[in-house]
Structure 1
Amino acid sequence: MPGTPAPSVGTWLRVSDPERRAGATPRVALAALFTGLLTAWLLFDGLGVNLLVCGAATAVGAGFAARVAGRRIRPWTAVWSLLALALLVVPAWWDAGWPALLAAGGALALASLALHGGRRWAGVLFALPGLLWQPVPAVRWAWTSVQGRRLPGRGRIVPVLKALAVAAVLLTVFGLLFASADAAMADLLGNLSPDLDLGRLPGRAVLFVLGTATALGFAHMAAGPRRWDRTVIRPGRERRRLEWALPLVALNLMFGVFAVIQAVVVLGGADAVLSNTGMSRSEYARQGFWQLSVITVLTLVVVAVAKRWAPRTTDVDHRLARILLGLLCLLALAVVASALGRMWFYVDASGLTRLRLWVLVVEVWLGVVFLLLIAAGLTRRAGWLPRVVVLSGMLTVAVYGLMGPDAIVAEQNVTRYEQALKTDPHGAAIDLRNVRRLSADAVSALERLPEPQRSCALQLIGQELEGESRPWYATNLAAARARGILAQRPPVDSRAVGRTACDRAGLAYEDL
């Protein structure tokens, strides 16, 4: 309304509070404690199927809290929840650590978004890291809720628990004294007591606290989420048409010139690149890829800033903003295509690595974002844009993790080496410094290499798999498959292969 003062930061934080929050029932508290115990037991030895189990337990506790609050599942809630579940499958399927951590972080963010909801940019972006500020209020919420309830049978259960605690303390103290006094008693008590590694207790205690706090945090969100969509973001002050449009016109012209040059230079092939730049295709690709990637990200920033300060008083202003920003996004697609083309040239010349595959995936996603921005500019209502952009990003993370990056890197390098053997048997080489650092996901592809390349590539992976002994819940399908392959045909010992043989086998390229 005219004359209404702009809300302060404290005001919009208070407005985003839930209208009501259901209390934590004993079932919610017990589910959180159970999740904490599962976390302490399962996650100490590594990531694998255990992450999926702990995620399911956390979802059960949040479901109890949501049911008490009277919340219902909506379509977008189901979408975010199913995608979070797909992300948690990545550590159970593949062995590589980076995709597993990325998938776990994405699953936590999506679970927070599923419980908070959100349609606008503020609602979506503030909901993704929503778990970060939940644990302390959630523990306070659970304690006050359960403390104020009258539990059935409390008069009978509490004395029994106190008696068991006192008995445990007495047996521990006197048992240690008897064990130190008599060897036979020590042997008897050692056989009766569980085998506990006291050195692991602090780590398991930390995991128990983290697991319980995380479960309570999600239950706290489910019982009454913040309404981040109500966050008031004032539009930027309108700029004059010339002041705003002239920089964009100049930038569009520069992007257009770049697109024309790329069409002339790159589409002409390797010979055109060499004649116009004096560089090989690999050198040309490496020289400009990172700069083009930075330009892609900066263009998104320019679009966001220009949209905020664009003139919007008349229909002409709206139309001009759409045309200039849409043209900039369209030309940015040419930059994305050029960056992808350069990286493709580089991979074709030097092989694929983890980093090269990751930046290729990110660049493709940035291209999708520009397409979504263009589509939003062509429609009158673009309320779908924030959620679809996040959906595209999380789908990218899920696809990247589920496709097995290390397996793809190994497959591409092995296939490239096999093709080189057919054309030039004496000059063929594989970048062992790249492939031998991969995880167990790469074993199926590296197994096809001839000796001594095979043993040189599998030495480190075999030693890592042989040196670790994980329970079933902390391993993954790729590691189990790799152990089976290496058990049937183990790599030759490094002392038998020799450093010189591995050098001759193909340590030929530098990593990106």
Structure 2
Amino acid sequence: MSGQSIPAAPPPPRPFPNGTPVQPGPIAVERRRLLAGTDPDRRAPATPKVLAAALATGLLTAWLLGDGLGVNLLLCAAVAAVAAGLTARSAGRRVRPWTLAWSVLALALLVVPALWDAGWPAFLSVSAALALTSLALHGGRRWTGVTLALPGVLWQLAPSVLWALDALRGREYPAKQKVLPVLKALAVAVVLLVVFGALFAGADAAMADVLESLTPSLDLDELPLRFVLLVLGLVTALSFAHMAAGPRRWDRLRTEPGRERGRLEWAVPLGALNLMFAAFTVVQVVVLAGGRDAIMTNTGMSRSEYARQGFWQLMVITVLTLVVVGLAKRWAPRSTPADRRLARAVLGTLCVLSLVVVGSALVRMYFYVDASGLTRLRLWVLVVEIWLGVVFLLVIAAGALRGAGWLPRAVLLSAALTAAVYGLMGPDAVVAEQNVARFERTGQIDLRNVRDLSVDAAPALDRLTGDRRTCALALIWYDTGGSKPWYAMSLAQSRARDVFRDHPIGDREDKACRRAGFEPGYSERY
């Protein structure tokens, strides 16, 4: 006994201020219960191949994305997809039709930066691609499953790193005999490429240009940025692989239906709103019956003033109507077949009348564009308004078919297709083409609509002549002055350089703009 050490007693628990432990509140308990219900049934471990693919994604991101966006984004995404695919295979997951659809759309969205140079469409496309990839890996049928799966990459950032660390902890690594030959082969390959590449570059100027375009540039000042890109690419790839290993089942979150309201309490407000929409429909028919020339007679305003006067209000009305329809559906009377028929009739009428609001907003914008030309903002709101009209049609179809299980994914599919079409068509190129075509038809162009466009607009604006061409292309010409490697250059940038090589700008921008009747310094207007 004397030779045995007696273990020390554990320290007493720290007392709570009032002497009793603090219990979690009912809201916290319910949140934990709901979140636990969405846990994956099983999660596959991170294999060495998955970790290697994630590390390769990080290295490629640091190597390629620091110079800009282009084909390099597709290359990084392909390696990250390999990591997610390997994990999904080890987890025994199968490719389903909706998974394939979301993946194809995400790939189409990632093509946008390789085609066009405009910043806003590229940002929208990359964000939508990340959201669709998350949905493809998570899956989802109901509104909760679809909406909570879209930002899934954000929920997985910290857990994915812990998942990778758990896989690395305690693993038996290959022996030196397996690792050293690979490292030696890579080192010899790098030495041979550097030596012979330098010799070939010194022997032939064309070969030097090719090697320079293939070799990424790296400056010491860029090291912090490259490190951030390395971490970003690595963690993003790990997040998608973590999702593939065991996605959180957001569809298991059950939302209780709203308290059923009485017919009178529910139908009277919506009936009054339907009457308001019907009155607006009648007014629109009266005002627009005579065509665009009747607007001045009926309202005393020009077409441009008429469109600008109410377009944004109609846009807000469209969005608010969707909110009203969703809330009304939640609290609609549903006890009897007559109650359900009433709900479908009232909400269906409201959706049909809302299509008139969408049509009126589109007609107003058409008048505005016809009178003043197209801009980025006008094109964007046109696309959004058309998509909102499609959403109303889907809601009407769901009510008519008496089954809305397909509606969440159909609405998201319409949004993804809209974003893909908007990005792939090249918004800046469309804006430039419309303004130049209008100039060729009428001899009028507002240079404020085109001067702030990206290099995507160069081929269309090149059709202008004289001072108008110089003024419209001056800012784009400055943007094409720097050199970029091939993997960070979009197709639009290559086309713009061809335009300026064949038809350079020789005059000063400020003088050309003043002769064209435009004073530099004014920004784009709505």
Query: Given the two structures, how large is their TM-score scaled by the length of structure 1?
Result: 0.88
1:489 corresponding residue in structure 2: 503
2:45 corresponding residue in structure 1: 23
Evaluate the alpha carbon distance shift between residue 447 and residue 319 of structure 1 in structure 2; reply closer, same or farther with a 3 A threshold: same
Deviates more, 1:195-204 or 1:409-418: 195-204
- 1:430–1:508 contact (8 Å) kept in structure 2: no
Q: What's the offset of the Cα at 1:139? A: 0.7
Q: Distance in 2 between matches of 1:433 and 1:407?
A: 15
* 1:445 to 2:460 alignment: yes
* 1:382 to 2:404 alignment: yes
- 2:374–2:431 contact (8 Å) kept in structure 1: yes
Identity of aligned residues (%): 65
2:281 corresponding residue in structure 1: 259
Matched residue of 2:517: which SS?
Answer: helix
- 1:25–1:146 contact (8 Å) kept in structure 2: no
* 1:356 to 2:378 alignment: yes
Deviates more, 1:138-147 or 1:19-28: 138-147
Q: Distance in 1 between matches of 2:521 and 2:54?
A: 51
Q: Distance in 2 between matches of 1:344 and 1:332?
A: 18
Q: Distance in 2 between matches of 1:104 and 1:351?
A: 29
2:425 corresponding residue in structure 1: 403
Deviates more, 1:287-296 or 1:138-147: 138-147
Evaluate the alpha carbon distance shift between residue 137 and residue 448 of structure 1 in structure 2; reply closer, same or farther with a 3 A threshold: same
Q: Distance in 1 between matches of 2:151 and 2:518?
A: 49
1:472 corresponding residue in structure 2: 486
* 1:301-324: CA deviation from partner (whole Å, max 9, x where unpaired): 000110111111111111111111
- 1:431–1:508 contact (8 Å) kept in structure 2: no
- 1:431–1:509 contact (8 Å) kept in structure 2: no
Evaluate the alpha carbon distance shift between residue 364 and residue 156 of structure 1 in structure 2; reply closer, same or farther with a 3 A threshold: closer
1:71 corresponding residue in structure 2: 93
* 1:370-398: CA deviation from partner (whole Å, max 9, x where unpaired): 00000000112221110010000000000
Counterpart pick for 1:338 among 336, 341, 360: 360
Q: Distance in 2 between matches of 1:47 and 1:75?
A: 30
- 2:447–2:518 contact (8 Å) kept in structure 1: no
Q: Where in structure 2 are the equivalents of 1:414-453 lying within 5 Å?
A: 414-421=436-443, 429-453=444-468
Q: Which runs of 5+ in 1 are unaligned?
A: 162-193, 422-428
1:96 corresponding residue in structure 2: 118
2:36 corresponding residue in structure 1: 14
Q: Distance in 2 between matches of 1:324 and 1:275?
A: 35
2:193 corresponding residue in structure 1: none
Q: Distance in 1 between matches of 2:497 and 2:387?
A: 35
Q: What's the offset of the Cα at 1:267? A: 2.6
Matched residue of 2:254: which SS?
Answer: coil
Q: Where in structure 2 are the equivalents of 1:161-240 lying within 5 Å?
A: 196-240=218-262
Q: What's the offset of the Cα at 1:206? A: 0.4
- 2:470–2:509 contact (8 Å) kept in structure 1: no
1:461 corresponding residue in structure 2: 476
Counterpart pick for 1:108 among 103, 106, 130: 130
Q: How many residues align?
A: 469
Q: Which runs of 5+ in 2 are unaligned?
A: 1-25, 184-215
Query: Given the two structures, how large is their TM-score scaled by the length of structure 2?
Result: 0.86
1:168 corresponding residue in structure 2: none
- 1:35–1:211 contact (8 Å) kept in structure 2: yes
* 1:193-239: CA deviation from partner (whole Å, max 9, x where unpaired): x9852110000000000000000000000000000000021111111
Matched residue of 1:393: which SS?
Answer: helix
- 1:131–1:217 contact (8 Å) kept in structure 2: yes
Q: Where in structure 2 are the equivalents of 1:25-44 lying within 5 Å?
A: 25-44=47-66
Q: What's the offset of the Cα at 1:152? A: 3.2
Q: Distance in 2 between matches of 1:47 and 1:351?
A: 30
Q: Distance in 1 between matches of 2:513 and 2:313?
A: 38
Q: What's the offset of the Cα at 1:329? A: 0.4
Q: Distance in 1 between matches of 2:295 and 2:178?
A: 84
Letter in 1 for 2:242: H
Q: Distance in 2 between matches of 1:115 and 1:413?
A: 42
Q: Distance in 1 between matches of 2:36 and 2:291?
A: 60
Evaluate the alpha carbon distance shift between residue 195 and residue 485 of structure 1 in structure 2; reply closer, same or farther with a 3 A threshold: closer
Letter in 2 for 1:451: G
Q: Distance in 1 between matches of 2:377 and 2:251?
A: 36
Q: Distance in 2 between matches of 1:488 and 1:101?
A: 31
Letter in 1 for 2:169: Q
